[in-house]
Amino acid sequence: MRRATAHLAPVVPLLTELGELFAAQGHELALVGGPVRDAFLGRTSPDLDFTTSATPDQTLAILKPWSDAHWDIGREFGTIGARRDEHTVEVTSYRADAYDGQTRKPVVAFGDNLEDDLVRRDFTVNAMAMRLPSMEFVDPYAGLADLAAKRLRTPGAPEVSFGDDPLRMMRACRFAAQLGVDVAPEVREAMTAMAPSIEIVSAERVRDELTKLLLAPEPRAGLRLLVDSGLADHVLPELPALKLEVDEHHRHKDVYEHSLTVLDQAIALEGPADGPESSVPGPDLVLRLAALLHDIGKPATRRFEDGGGVSFHHHEMVGAKLTSKRLKALRFDKDTGKAVSRLVELHLRFHGYGDGAWTDSAVRRYVNDAGPLLQRLHRLTRSDSTTRNTRKAALLSQTYDALEVRIEALMAAEELAKVRPELNGNEIADVLGIKPGPVLGRAYAHLLEVRLDRGMVGREAAEQELRDWWVTQPESATQPESVPQLDSSPQPEPQSEPEPADQ
């Protein structure tokens, strides 16, 4: 208690002031939930959550003159928010909610005492409170003992808790990742039995919990619980599908375990949170999603070969499509979906590099296809090596080192990050005497291919190359209809590379 109180020392004046304001009006106030839990863990919560015997109207009347700003968008659920200086607070009236079992929306009912309010909370570690202004610690459901034992329990029966709010099962997985806790046996049993009920929860809420889980320092434990409980079958079915039955000859590694290891290794390659963009500052959601999902195309593409081997031809292309579909279903934003899918699509490209025989043209294409995702692709590719053969692992690492050196050299010489044809759209139109339209777009794409294949050839050579191409086109004697001019280069079609034997 002394350590927790000491950790709260910077906000004790604020806590005391608020407690006295509510007490002066005849109301109880307590700091509750995450801020109390985090104080015992030596962590600082960004926001301060309170519970009170006051009604929302009474709370607003107290906070309005005290705060710099206030809001009541949560009034329906008893919550009033306020900000003063750098502190944000949310005060919720004692609750005694009931749920209809069909949706996640509670039927709001306000309670009249702190203990009843605490029993409706998700887990005992979040059902601890400090009465204000006395700083009296309240822990009716032994949350502190559970926190010390790294144990996750519900204040009441888990079946009742998860029946009230199925999203709490996702939170259990998230806390396993964030806090390093083990769920109690009865909690695990209830999660397994009630996993299908997660489907009544909105995709947006599931996405938010999954995101928090993935951004935890060690998400592996949370992902395991997600899969073992059966929740993943309903929210991320591609993950348990990676548990391919290993054939009797063990011709391929466990793809599920491999994917979790790739995720661990990708996290280890993230840069510091305050590092430059080129270091991929962690935690990076795009990189972590790509690491977790990079092989989800394997179940659909596994083939046993006559010679005793196994193949997963084009699993990166299938996986990219599955990734896009799943992230869209989970309501991730378009940019995140496109970035993760692109990384999944490109994650095998390096293995065509072999002994370093790529031409400069191939290296340019690698950089061009990755675009702004290049640094993440570097980390994903390196993480995808999970072989136990130390010699093979060292060789792969050295080969990729060499590729990165070549990329840096070409980027320095040719500004590959800004690769464009040596003639822009207007200049192409002038050389060929054509109007903006589809033909101009094809001409632009042709010069981009020249740029990628041969590097900078100079304006005169580029113009000659353009004229030589033009005489081979059937439209060279006619003018196309006018359409808006292109101002950016089209993406070249990705090319699949052979599956490396040990991936």
Which CATH number covers residue 203?
1.10.110.30
Considering the domain architecture, whether residues 330 and 208 belong to the same structural domain is answered as no
Tally of structural domains, the chain: 4
Considering the domain architecture, whether residues 411 and 483 belong to the same structural domain is answered as no
CA distance 488 to 444: 9
Average pLDDT, 10 consecutive residues per value, the chain (503 residues): 86 95 97 94 87 95 94 89 93 77 61 89 95 95 96 95 94 96 97 97 96 96 97 97 63 80 96 93 97 94 78 90 97 97 94 74 87 94 86 85 86 66 85 86 85 81 87 69 41 44 42
Q: Determine which helix (DSSP H) or strand (DSSP E) holds 79, and give its type and residue range.
A: strand 79-84
End-to-end alpha-carbon separation of the chain, Å? 51
- Please report whether residue 240 resides in a domain: no
Considering the domain architecture, whether residues 446 and 434 belong to the same structural domain is answered as yes
Longest alpha-carbon distance in the chain:
90
Which pLDDT value is given to residue 270? 97
Residue 378's domain comprises 247-416
CA atoms within 13 A on the CB side of 65: 5
Which pLDDT value is given to residue 61? 96
Burial of 103 (0-12, 13-18, 19+ CB in 10 A): exposed
Q: Look up the pTM and report it.
A: 0.79
Which pLDDT value is given to residue 485? 40
Considering the domain architecture, whether residues 306 and 404 belong to the same structural domain is answered as yes
Considering the domain architecture, whether residues 293 and 360 belong to the same structural domain is answered as yes
Domain final residue, candidates 146, 175, 202: 146
